[in-house]
Structure 1
């Protein structure tokens, strides 16, 4: 469990303004797959916030997984505090689509910088589950 189930009003870190228990938690805990590419992207952002490494690997397309992903993601999670998410746009990625694109900005802080991660992510659906494929990433330092 990722949080105290007695507090169902805990806001989801993804910025949806929904309670975590009704937003990203069901996907992260494996109870209900994300229904859209955007929902998967939001749940992956939340997984980074919460340190849910297994979920991040499980929701990456198998062909794009690397043997050292878990260690790299765990190291990144320790060094990064995610402070907000803004969805810029989505292309396709709905429940009846097989592919989708989500463009977003994720705000973060590390010991070295405060910055935004601007990404245009590609997603594919296989066997009724959405997966992260890859993305074009740009780090925008804040001054």
Structure 2
């Protein structure tokens, strides 16, 4: 049985693993953002540094990324994605549990295409719109939120 990909669609083997393993580069900003979310879930700090544009690292290192605490990632919602040949943006919410409550990191991320691959540059964060208790769970289980990640 295949392992589900943390970013949502399909199995990890056919979704984000080829990017994480360096077998291929993400073809779009959304694919890169999804693979970066999965890298956060899987704690693949080297991948996060490698896909972050060098001029936008501002001292960020694998060591800093590895410092905790780390939230319990629950799911990813992509609200919008657009790009042209050289730049792109992805608007998303990464859902997590922290301090026994559900929360989300809502961000409009910017990307550039250089040297034949996409790089994350920076993001602007917004307050997440939390789903209602009876809405589908953010983890994709198919259950209502109150019966899944809200209660765990």
Q: TM (normalized to structure 2)?
A: 0.78
Q: 1:13, 1:114 → 2: CA distance?
A: 17
Tell me the CA shift for residue 51 of structure 1: 0.2
User: Is 1:104 aligned to residue 92 of structure 2?
Assistant: yes
The answer to whether the aligner puts 1:38 opposite 2:30 as a matched pair is yes
Which residue is 1:3 aligned to? none
Q: Where do 1:1-143 residues align within 5 Å?
A: 7=1, 9-16=2-9, 18-76=10-68, 78-92=69-83, 97-111=85-99, 113-140=101-128
Is the 1:114–1:141 contact (alpha carbons within 8 Å) kept by the matching residues of 2? no
Bigger radius of gyration, 1 or 2?
2
Q: Which runs of 5+ in 1 are unaligned?
A: 1-6
Summarize deviations over 1:85-115 as a string: whole Å, max 9, x none.
010001215xxx2100000011012236431
Check whether the contact 1:115–1:139 (CA below 8 A) recurs between aligned residues. Answer: no
Gaps of 5+ in 2: 131-149
**How far apart in 2 are the matches of 1:56 and 1:104?**
17
Partners of 1:139 and 1:74 lie apart in 2 by: 25
Compute the RMSD of aligned alpha carbons. Answer: 1.9
Higher helix share: 1
Shift of the alpha carbon at 1:25?
0.4
Task: Tell me the TM-score normalised to structure 1 length.
Answer: 0.83
Structure 1 residue 65, shift from structure 2 partner: 1.3
- Count of residues paired in the alignment: 131
